[in-house]
Structure 1
Amino acid sequence: MFKGKKKQTNDQPQKLYHILDTDQVFIDLDVNHTTGLSTSEAERRLTVHGTNEMRGGGRPSAFKILIRQLSNLMTLILIAAIVVAFVIKDWVEAGVLIGVIAFNTAVGFLQEFKAEKTMDSLRKMSSPTSRVLRNGHQVVVPTMDLVPGDVLYLESGDVIGADCRLFEVFNFDTDEALLTGEALPISKEVAAFADPELPLGDRINLAFASTTVTKGRAKAVVYATGMSSEVGKIAKKLMDTDKNRMTPLQKGLHKMSWVLLGIASVSVLIVFGANKFKVNSDVLLYAIGLAIATIPEGLIAVVTLTMSMGVSTLAKKRALVRQLVALESLGSVTNICSDKTGTLTQSKMVLVRAWLPEEGVLRVAGLGFEPVGVITKTRQIVKSSETARVNFAEGEKSRLLDEDTTETVTVDQTTASPNVRRLAEAAALCNMSEIKCDAATGEWFGIGDPTEIALQVFASKLSMGKPLLTSDTHQWSVVSEYPFDSGIKRMSVVAVNNLTGEKLLFLKGATERVVPCCTGRQDGEITTAIESDDLQTYLDPRIQEMARDGLRVLSIAYRHLTKEESQIDMNKADREGVELNMTFLGLVGIYDPPRPESLPSVMECYRAGIQVTMLTGDHPATAAAIARQVGILQSEDEAENDSHVAVTMGQLVMTAREFDSLSDEEIDALPELPHVIARCSPDTKVKMIQAMHRRNGIVAMTGDGVNDSPSLKFADVGIAMGLSGSDVAKQASEIILTDDNFATIVRAIREGRRIFNNIQRFCCVLVGGNVAELICLLFGLAFRDKLDETVFPLSPVAILVNNLLTGTPPAMALGLEKAWPTIMDEPPRPPTSGLFSWEVQADIVFYGFSIGLLSISNFWLIISGFGDGNMAEHCNKGYTEECDLVFRARGAVFATLTLGILLHAYNCRRIRGPMWSWSMLKRFHENKFLLGGFISGTILCLLCMYVPGLNTSVLKMKGISWEWGVVLITLLVFLILSELYKFGKRRLLKPLTVATEEQVRLQRIWTENTLTSLSNGLEK
């Protein structure tokens, strides 16, 4: 539980501090930024606003959790069955039932107890102390004592203790990935913004609680603490989110429990009524046996064990399941809301493209930190005698295209032109990062800013990395540096060539900040003068092309320093005066590449009827580009030219601001929900889930940050990232991915579908077998002896033995059934269908009645059809010569019922497909557990029938001889009826496939477009 003082309220008025200038902020918070708060004023505000920590309700007691686990109806029925088992002295049955209840209760108790740790994780995220200004002196105070108006001192490595407004920054960056989803550190500024609805990630004059400082230093004034901070708002949503609702599986089992309890009660009354309520010990035992046969006491155990084995399987596939019910929800997922960075992408910034005037485009292969990858360029070979004309002002080339050809050439250190080499030198030297190889594992890793690491890897691929250029055998030394400044968004270094003595200034940064520094561009071996405006116009088409592909574009420039400048101490020189008259070298494009398995995984989702939506904190252009590359969106060309596309790209790609501005009615009126939402906030994600729920969707939501935790809890299946995820996100989720990979989600859905299909299969066997027993035993009440007493078709003990042989063993075997190859070609289950869909209910009734009626018909055939129809007196008590016919008829009923249900287990391997075709017969032995259960069940059935004493004295039946012909013919009839029934379902019911011709066509287009991009050098 989160602790706090009794007067803690944290109900602070929420103002938009990002639109106020710093002077207004100081006035509003009543603080002097040069002296800070006084000690007495800080104590007063602490009393008013409360401590700076999370609040939460008390954790429920272990006793209450235990009571909740024992109070479900099926458990109560099992407890009643235990009592009955003790009454009839069936110690084995009682022991098994006690073990089932103990196992189910223990699993549920541990899961619910662990789920109460979410709020604790939130509280532990904050830093224990903070540096503040009090009484004009810098002091260190516990973070929980921060109050609005406190002046904070922030430096690299600090965890920010509260939401605050920045008023002084120096090269200050923060990592807000856990809160806003932004993949890269955010550069902060002080200036106020005019837009009051600016997304949280774009309010760069604010710093937020629990985020970390990655670079620089700053001063800020606190404006929100505790539950009023952005993290606190998330904590409130977590406390308000109710995720204890019953799942369709739980609802189905709950309803089935009531139905079976009612049927068992009615069956007992029928037994008593058939005997005119003359209840003796035999009638009572028969009624109790019938009631126990009606209730599948092993169902909960089989369901739990099947899911537990599914959990083990998924753990091997890098998905840790925290709650078993998540497996059921996975099988019916209709929508996946996925983050981009690290899930669909590799979470590695990679330089994949460069562009230089005259040189054209360089494409760079290789997606890791290892400096291995081919660099190529396409050059044009002019056959015409006419010299190519180049119009630099318009950025176009005019050639005789009908006479031109092109060729792709490899660029390396020896073949690179001087301009390419200069670009590599700038990338390596104007760079503070390092790439290294782990000697133990051989893995390459980067140290420093992700963007600079990408530049360093590029240079190293040309064998021109910084270590080589600055080694003793090479000529370069970096003598001074102007570090990256978030205010001007560029960095420069001065490097000296030790062989020639010349000094060069290398500059890199955002294009809009580099171009104004340039007065020329490098064209081959000459430098062409150009105005900065013309240069920007010249570069815009290339920049836009790279941006459309999701690349982050940087510009690189350089210049030779004059002799006078070479004598100046650059560390003391005016930066604005030095970074002038630069020569533009080229553009580089960097991005976080998609995982290779993302595209086929998304395609598999569409084939399975699952819509994938990207919710990311990145910018719209980057998000849309990656979405096209992984198949979430069509390419822009296809979307424009395809008449089958019913919605515009503008509707499919939205920012959070655009989506949040829509009312629920407007969202519901959209023909299709957006496939990509950029600059996402926590509220946007929840709003999207709500919109999907209104469309009857079952939503799986991925997330890794604190900002994702409300949506993880609100979604039907919350999936947290194990590598990059926060503890809060993991505690709020049902599933944790240990590899942060979207493909693992698809594998989990496949496993969820397999498990749910298997549960339906063994429910059909268990409940169908109980219906068969019920029909057989109830119809058997019609057989009466000369004293007008009921002649039972099976003894009470034989009923229990049959229940044991045909219940849990085949059900457990079906729980291990492998997924059929077509499982991801089927649509998700309708949310309202639950476990017992109309088809499953029909199957249970049909198969149960078929086996039950065929079994009791054998009882009649052997007694009256082939026998004389005489039933001796007191055959329910024990064996006599006069009862021989009844005992053999019981043996036939026992064999028919047992073998019929065991065969039915094979029949349920496929709900609609023919089970006894030649192709399926070849797979008869595939499920070894089912085959073993069938063989062992058959052997035990024969032992029950033929072991002397056990058969006649205990089970009150006898082995059969010629009656086997009747039994086998009856089983053959059952198999024929089953195949006819399945054939009728295949003809009358909607096929279990989802991929229409239109969907297949769209998938083909998307896949081809992505592979085309691959061949063009984006290395997807």
Structure 2
Amino acid sequence: MTQNIVDLQPEVPYHTYTISETEAHLKSNIIEGLTSEEAAVRIRLHGTNELKGSGGVLWYKVLWRQVANPLVVVLLIANILAFATKQFPEGGVILFIIIMNATIGFYQDFSAEQTMDALRNMSSPTSQVIRDESRIVIPNSQVVPGDIMIFEDGAVIGADCRLLEVFNLETDEALLTGESLPVMKTLDVIKNAEQSLGDRLNMVFASTTVVKGRAKGIVTTTGMGTQIGKIATTLMNVDTNELTPLQKRLNKMAYFIFVAAVVLVIVVFAVHKFHYSNEIAIYAISVAISMIPQGLVAIVTLTMAFGVSRMAKAKAIVRRLSSLESLGAVTNICSDKTGTLTQSKMVAVRMWLPDDGYYRMTGTGFAPAGDILRQGEPNDSNLHAQEERITPESSTEQLLRVFQASALCNMAELRRANHPETHGEWTAIGDPTEIALQVLAHKAGMPKPELVEDGFQLITEFPFDSAVKRMSVLYKAPSSNKKKDTEHLIFTKGATERILACCSHYRDGEAEIPFKEKSDAIHSDFVSTVMERVDHLAEQGLRVLSVSYRKFHPTPGTDLVHGLDRDDVESNLVFLGLIGIYDPPRAESLPAVMKCYEAGIRVHMLTGDHPSTAAAIAKEVAIIPADTDIKNSSMVMSADKFDAMSDDQIDALNELPRVVARCSPNTKVKMIAALHRRNLFAAMTGDGVNDSPSLKAANVGIAMGQSGSDVAKQAADIVLTDDNFATIVEAIAEGRRMFFNIQKFVQHLMSGNIATILVLVVSLAIKDKQQDSVFPLSAAAILFMNLCYSSPPAIGLGLEPASETNMTEPPRTSKQGLFSFEVLMDMFVYGIAMAVLSFVPFILVLFVFENGELGYKCNVTYSEICDGVFRARATCYATLTFLILSHAINCRDIRQSGWQWSRLKTAQQNKTLWLAIVIGAMILFPVIYVPGLNKNVFKHEGISYEWGLVFGMLFIYTAFVETYKFVKRRTMA
């Protein structure tokens, strides 16, 4: 099929065009859609289907964030003060640090923003279109004029379209028109070219929502050419600067530290009796700066962006950063069954009809190859004898109606590809359950296209609704009575108990019999008989649907499209039979559930299936034990029973049910509320429009990316692109890894800062001949240490792979937050230990090896009398540097040794950390030995024997840490 590019005019009044005129104008094909090649050409011509000027990542805003914060302000003040007092070396170092900090922060922040922006776009609403003769799902941004778009209940419409097919379609256009009521759509041509938007009933518009029904349309305009693009370029209101609760806590911590830094400045001046000098001022500012973990916010952003990227590769798209923090605390997962725990590759394998008993169907997949074999009732001697193969010619009227209901009460499409490279493979479009029924109809020789050709014409449809759990269609059918031209038939399918509630008769051969009329054993209580058969099929893990029909005699003058009441249509139906559909569990579901149990996470299955079906699958994937008696176990409960319980009754249960069957959206909300009352942290999966409340109520809402509606995706925190339960478990593991990594580098930064502060403050007591404090570290050294020895290893800790116990420990509680008692205790213990072990060499060199020669003005310039001070200062600097670098290895695990082999062998997985440590150690030597740089900038002198003290302190610190962790493992739970 070849097509030509058309130069579209945005103001073309497509509502005045017929369907064929629209198709011709846009040079499209309403059956086959565009080709991929044609779509690629059109997207280059018309651009992507996006609103322009909606923001994106603006580099200057990211750069401003690096400057406009109190931490950088302190550095700027110090820089101005240094140059004003002609302390040019210190001023140069501070300026270099400001530029480097801003550069690194900008790069990290800008990269993180771009990553998050790209990932948010990945989870933006999608569209179903027909391309290359197949229905596919594409991002809205890739929709082009001429695409054939398909709309279903809950979809967010991706572009302005002229409707081609309509079945009870209603859309919410309040965004455009302000009209709060849904708008019923038609295909009628509207003559008035100036008709208002709200009255263009044959059009649908971008960003509006389908609230009912389904339809097809041809895309007329995209991007800024749409109606929403003309009047609202600010609709894309995703806040790319949204702060998570963790970031807010860290910001509060930064402000607290800022106040503490100001107090330290006052302390430094107070020790010097508020005597002002350039050196004291610079030192005071440097002490204040050493209190501030300058790269903290940037490292948090980088760690989160890295975690989000990893999750995207694992097919979990993060829509809200706050969900990353929540994932690590999840205690319960409430999961759907179909497509999440199972493969969603359904095939109809069994049937039961009241007059014939059981049938067995062979064949798998979408290909309509296989047989339909009659077996009979369990007490029928033919059941285990030769099975009878059913052909179209041997089908009874009972079977014909079942196959008609399967084919016609069904929106799925079964196609055989015409492309040579596909070798004529069968493909399917639609809901997996409906595909299974459509394949069954094809096997029976009654495919939907042939029935339509024979005269079956769809008049109206009542789509599947999770509240009523059934779907009905009204067809005009060729009459079985030769005296009449046509007759009307209603076909209904759905959950068995909901279908039986609408039925008054059942089909027995050629007769339609009231439920209570016959007296033989099989028919004396027909409803009980049917439910026994349902249980029998469900216990085999089959999803059981019931089908029914009735002849419909409309009152003359009735509007059959819009004038029918659903309750009237779905009444006095004739029960036809049961169809059992098998959906095998995913191979990865069982290991994923077992991993949840190892991690202290409980899994609940909330499904619309029959209790026996749900329980059978739950046993296969280990949600409930294999020997569970579902009739007497509280682990399996129907939604009717669960919904009828009061909150007090639910709270009195020893354990919430693991399986809730025949579940409605309200049941999910009730389950989340019950979990919250038990102070549990819940993740909830969902795919439908009605799942939005439960997705929002859950601590982490997880939408299905393939089968989920756009409304559900927008309500969710995370979108699974593969609809796989195992992906949820991977996401939780990533959430745990990220949280603990943040805890690791916060501990590393803060304990290093505490050590530096203690060394600087305690040393104020050491006075020279002029009664000025002898500084153990120069201002430049303090600043350089923060930049080169603290932040890079912290970045490496943020990228640390998960520990072996990541998914074998229970979820963290509210008491085990980022700043838990143990973490705070560790910060001060490690900080004090590093401070003592750094200050001791300073004292030894100064008072033991250099005979206490303190000189004067040794904080300003080098002289022979200051040689001992300069060597002691270099020794203190080297010791503290090595302790901070080695402390990064210590922080890899809060209780286990960072030097254990299982940790060390992961060096290849975290080269960033080891590279930061090695480079940090190498940078130390120029600071101490390069002439001019050492004495003039860092106030150091080259050292020799002092290295023995440095490495001795490093050995003592390592031994202390290992002893401390050993005691913690023995004494702390």
TM-score grouping bracket, smaller chain normalisation: 0.5 to 0.7
Partner of 2:488: none
* Map of 2:416 onto structure 1: 436
Is 1:84 paired with 2:78?
yes
Which one of the candidate residues 809, 828, 846 is aligned to 2:792?
809
Deviation at 1:294, TM superposition (A): 0.8
Contact in 1 for aligned 2:303/2:799 (Cα 8 Å): yes
Distance 1:583 1:617 in 2: 21
1:872–1:366: structure 2 CA closer, same or farther, 3 Å change rule?
farther
Deviations 1:726-752 (A, max 9, x none): 333333333222222222221111111
Distance 1:887 1:375, change over 3 A: farther
SS in structure 1 opposite 2:639?
strand
1:255-309 per-position Cα deviation (integer Å, ceiling 9, x unaligned)? 4224422432232222222222222111111111111111001000011011111
Distance 2:787 2:638 in 1: 57
1:320 equivalent to 2:305? Answer no
Match of 1:823, SS state, is coil
Partner of 1:94: 98
What pairs with 1:109-188 in structure 2 (closer than 5 Å)? none
Question: Which secondary structure state, in structure 2, belongs to the residue aligned with residue 533 of structure 1?
Answer: coil
Answer yes or no: is 1:608 the counterpart of 2:608: no
Q: Cα distance 1:151–1:428, how it changes in 2: closer, same or farther (>3 A)?
A: closer
For residues 330 and 451 of structure 1, the distance between their equivalents in structure 2, rounded to whole angstroms, comes to 32
Q: CA deviation at 1:147?
A: 9.1
Q: Given that residues 855 and 866 in structure 2 are in contact (C-alpha distance below 8 angstroms), is that contact kept between their aligned partners in structure 1?
A: yes
Preserved contact between residue 806 and residue 901 of structure 1 (Cα < 8 Å): yes
User: How far apart are the structure 1 equivalents of 2:951 and 2:183?
Assistant: 89
Asked whether the 8 Å contact 2:704–2:723 carries over to 1, the reply is: yes
Using the TM superposition, give the Cα deviation of residue 873 of structure 1 relative to its aligned residue in structure 2, in angstroms: 1.6
Alignment pair present for 1:211 and 2:194: no
Alpha-carbon distance in structure 2 between the residues aligned to 1:540 and 1:691:
30
- Distance change in 2, residues 1:844/1:740 (3 Å): same
Deviation of 1:950 after TM superposition, in Å, equals 1.0
Alignment of 1:541-560 (within 5 A): 541-548=532-539, 549-553=541-545
- State the AA in 2 paired with 1:446: A
CA distance in 1, matches of 2:436, 2:802: 42
Q: Any idea what SS the aligned residue of 2:861 has? A: coil
Contact kept in structure 2, 1:85 and 1:93, CA below 8 Å? no
Look up the SS of the partner of 2:628 in the other structure. Answer: helix
Among residues 747, 751, 755, which one is paired with 2:738 in the alignment? 755
Q: Deviation of residue 481 (structure 1)?
A: 6.9
Superposed counterparts of 1:206-245, under 5 Å? 210-213=211-214
Matched residue, 1:911:
894
Structure 1 residue aligned with 2:258, among 257, 261, 282? 261
Tell me if the contact between 1:248 and 1:832 (Cα under 8 Å) persists in the aligned partners: no
Output the CA distance in 1 between the equivalents of 2:769 and 2:782. Answer: 24
Of residues 262, 269, 272, the one that matches 2:269 is 272
- Kept in 2: contact 1:75–1:101 (CA 8 A): no
Q: Give the 3-state SS of the residue equivalent to 1:551 in structure 2.
A: strand
CA contact (8 A) 1:653 1:677 kept: yes
Whether the aligned pair in 2 keeps the contact of 1:82 and 1:98 (CA below 8 Å) is no
Distance 1:635 1:211, change over 3 A: farther
CA-to-aligned-CA distance 1:632-655 (integer Å, 9 cap, x gap): 3445735678xxx8xx246x5434
- Name 1:12's counterpart in structure 2: none
1:678 Cα deviation after fit: 5.0
1:953 aligns with 2:936: yes
Q: CA deviation at 1:365?
A: 8.0
Equivalent residue for 1:662? 646
Which letter does structure 1 place at the counterpart of 2:874?
Answer: G
Q: 2:523 aligns with which of 510, 533, 536?
A: 533
- Whether the 8 Å contact between 2:291 and 2:754 is mirrored in structure 1 is yes
Q: Does 1:985 align with 2:968?
A: yes
Give the distance between the partners of 2:630 and 2:939, measured in 1 at CA: 75
Q: CA deviation at 1:81?
A: 3.6
- CA–CA distance in structure 1, aligned partners of residues 872 and 387 of structure 2: 93
Residues 226-375 of structure 1 mapped to structure 2, 5 A cutoff: 249-353=246-350, 368-370=365-367
| 1:698–1:831 Cα contact (<8 Å) kept | no
Q: Cα offset for 1:754?
A: 0.9
* Number of equivalenced pairs: 775
**Deviations along 1:450-502, whole A, 9 cap, x unmatched?**
55642554688xxx67499999xxxx999787999999999999999xxxxxx
1:93: how far off? 2.1
Distance in 2, Cα, partners of 1:551 & 1:141: 34
Q: After TM superposition, list the pairs within 5 Å mapping 1:268-667 onto structure 2.
A: 268-353=265-350, 368-370=365-367, 395-396=378-379, 417-418=388-389, 431=407, 434-437=414-417, 439=419, 440=421, 444-446=426-428, 453-455=435-437, 457=439, 466=445, 516-519=506-509, 533=523, 541-548=532-539, 549-553=541-545, 588-616=579-607, 623-635=614-626, 637-638=628-629, 648-649=634-635, 652-655=637-640, 658-659=642-643, 662-663=646-647, 665-667=648-650
Which of 764, 773, 783 pairs up with 2:766? Answer: 783
Q: C-alpha deviations, 1:660-718, integer Å up to 9, x for none?
A: 7624x444443333444456555554444343333333333333333233433343333
List per-residue Cα deviations over 1:418-444 (Å, max 9, x = no partner).
Answer: 469968997888846635357456764
Task: Check the 8 A contact 1:518/1:532 in 2, yes or no.
Answer: no
Over 3 Å counting, the alpha-carbon distance change for 1:483 and 1:209 in structure 2 is closer
Distance in 2 between the 1:93 and 1:155 partners? Answer: 67
CA distance in 1, matches of 2:869, 2:182: 93
Q: 1:82 to 1:728 in 2, by over 3 A?
A: farther
The 8 Å contact of residues 784 and 791 in structure 1, kept in 2 or not, is answered as yes
1:976 CA drift (Å): 0.6
Residue identity over aligned pairs, in percent, reads 41
Distance, in Å, in 2 between the alignment partners of 1:68 and 1:813 is: 23
Could you list the per-position Cα deviations for residues 14-35 of structure 1 after superposition, in whole angstroms to 9, with x for gaps in the alignment?
xxxxxxxxxxxxxxxxxxxxxx
Instruction: Give the one of 840, 852, 856 matched to 1:869.
Output: 852
User: Which of these residues, 866, 884, 889, is aligned with residue 883 of structure 1?
Assistant: 866
Q: Secondary structure at the match of 1:613?
A: strand
- SS at 1:870's partner residue? coil
- Could you tell me which residue of structure 2 aligns to residue 226 of structure 1? none
Deviation (angstroms), 1:315: 1.5
RMSD between aligned alpha carbons?
5.7
Q: How many Å separate the matches in 2 of 1:920 and 1:669?
A: 45
The SS at the match of 1:945 is: helix
SS at match of 1:210: strand
Q: 1:146 to 1:316 in 2, by over 3 A?
A: closer
CA–CA distance in 1 between the matches of 2:474 and 2:184? 27
Q: Which of 912, 927, 930 in structure 2 is aligned with 1:929?
A: 912
d(CA) in 2 for partners of 1:515, 1:269: 91
Structure 1: unaligned runs, 5 residues or longer: 1-58, 132-139, 157-178, 180-207, 216-241, 380-389, 400-405, 410-414, 497-506, 522-528, 558-581, 991-1020
User: 1: distance between equivalents of 2:592 and 2:787?
Assistant: 43
Asked whether the 8 Å contact 2:545–2:580 carries over to 1, the reply is: yes
> Which structure 2 residue ranges, 5 or more long, are not aligned?
1-52, 83-90, 126-139, 141-153, 165-170, 189-207, 217-238, 463-470, 481-490, 512-518, 550-573
Structure 2 counterpart of 1:892, one-letter code: T
User: Higher mean Cα deviation, 140-149 or 83-92?
Assistant: 140-149
Distance change (3 Å), C-alpha of 1:457 and 1:84: same
Q: Secondary structure at the match of 2:827?
A: helix
